[in-house]
């Protein structure tokens, strides 16, 4: 059983309310906890997070334990708690790091996104909505090709580089960087306008078929919404070598002020 406590600072701040975190920050912390059980032999293959409500800034706890041990596959249950309440429930799958001989041409990846240097630079603070520090406005360097907070549309793409450690003194792993970037999907692609509508993700589901490398994580996202009041964001994840996984977010959708 792993149990740790952290302080979520303003650098983790999200877009929906000033005292709540962006989902990418606690997502990266949960990945860190899960990876502690894998060592050098296993890697994160998937993480499914259910959000019970806003994750408030300040002291939070991370608890994790192996629920299914194994040499080829492990399952880890984790949760984020604050003030004796569970705010995120998570389940992760770890797979062994193999070296499988595949048929010629199978399993080869190649870059399908333009490099981050070709994207439009989002100036630090531009997406911070007047706040001095936020996860999306300060903690990441962002290069956008399409979409983003300031552009309404069903699709969006860009690159994210986490500029602060998930935990002070530690270098973020590729999977931690992937979780931090994956939660930007519904912010990059939103067919309804920010300010007029809410489109808050109720979960984050991350699947990685290989370990991402480097500091930059690319996202290609599409969001579909329906008048029943929900939506779905599907994001393809990239590094400089090419795609390495995908993420989904289930959205609560409503007109701002009506919820």
Alpha-carbon gap, residue 62 to 123, rounded angstroms: 32
What sign results for the dihedral spanned by CA atoms 124, 217, 249, 51? negative
Examine the pLDDT at 78 and tell me if it is beyond 60: yes
User: Is domain 2-97+116-255 annotated with CATH 2.40.160.210?
Assistant: yes
pLDDT in tens, 224-259: 999 999 999 999 999 999 999 999 999 999 998 775
3-state secondary structure of 234: strand
Examine the pLDDT at 176 and tell me if it is beyond 80: yes
pLDDT in tens, 103-127: 988 888 888 899 999 999 886 655 5
Q: Which residues contact 106 (CB under 8 A, 6 or more apart)?
A: none
Helix, strand, coil % in the chain, rounded to nearest 5: 10, 45, 40
pLDDT value of residue 209: 96
pLDDT value of residue 20: 82
Residues 152-181 as b/e (b if ≥16 CB within 10 A, e otherwise) read bebebbbbbbbebebeeeeebbbbbbbbbb
Examine the pLDDT at 129 and tell me if it is beyond 60: no
Distances (CA, A) of 66 to 69, 75, 92, 190, 192: 6, 6, 9, 36, 40
User: In the chain, what are the domain boundaries?
Assistant: 2-97+116-255
pLDDT value of residue 131: 53
pLDDT value of residue 192: 96
Residues 38-50 as b/e (b if ≥16 CB within 10 A, e otherwise) read beeebbbbbbebb
> Which residue, among 128, 126, 171, 163, has the nearest Cα to 144 in the 3D structure?
126
pLDDT in tens, 46-64: 999 999 988 889 999 999 9
């Amino acid at each position: 059983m792993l149990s740790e406590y952290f302080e979520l600072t303003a650098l983790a701040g999200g877009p929906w309310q000033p005292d709540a975190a962006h989902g990418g920050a606690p997502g990266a912390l949960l990945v860190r906890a899960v990876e502690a059980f894998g060592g050098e032999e296993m890697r994160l293959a998937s993480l499914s997070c259910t959000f019970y409500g806003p994750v408030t800034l300040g002291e939070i706890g991370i608890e994790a334990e192996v629920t299914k041990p194994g040499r080829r596959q492990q399952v880890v249950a984790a949760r984020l708690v604050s003030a004796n309440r569970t705010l995120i429930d998570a389940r992760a799958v770890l797979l062994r790091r193999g070296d499988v001989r595949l048929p010629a041409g199978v399993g080869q990846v190649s870059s399908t996104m333009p490099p981050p240097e070709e994207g439009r630079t989002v100036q630090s603070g531009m997406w911070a909505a007047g706040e001095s520090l936020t996860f999306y406005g300060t903690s990441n360097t962002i290069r956008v090709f399409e979409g983003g907070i300031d552009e309404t549309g069903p699709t969006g793409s860009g690159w994210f580089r986490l500029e602060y450690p998930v935990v002070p003194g530690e270098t973020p792993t590729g999977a931690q960087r992937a979780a931090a970037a994956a939660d930007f999907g519904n912010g990059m692609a939103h067919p309804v306008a920010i300010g007029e509508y809410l489109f808050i993700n109720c979960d984050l589901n991350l699947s990685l078929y290989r370990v991402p490398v480097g500091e930059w994580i690319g996202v290609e996202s599409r969001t579909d919404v329906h008048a029943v009041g929900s939506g779905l964001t599907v994001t393809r994840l990239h590094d400089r070598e090419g795609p390495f996984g995908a993420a989904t977010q289930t959205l609560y959708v409503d007109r701002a002020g009506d919820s």
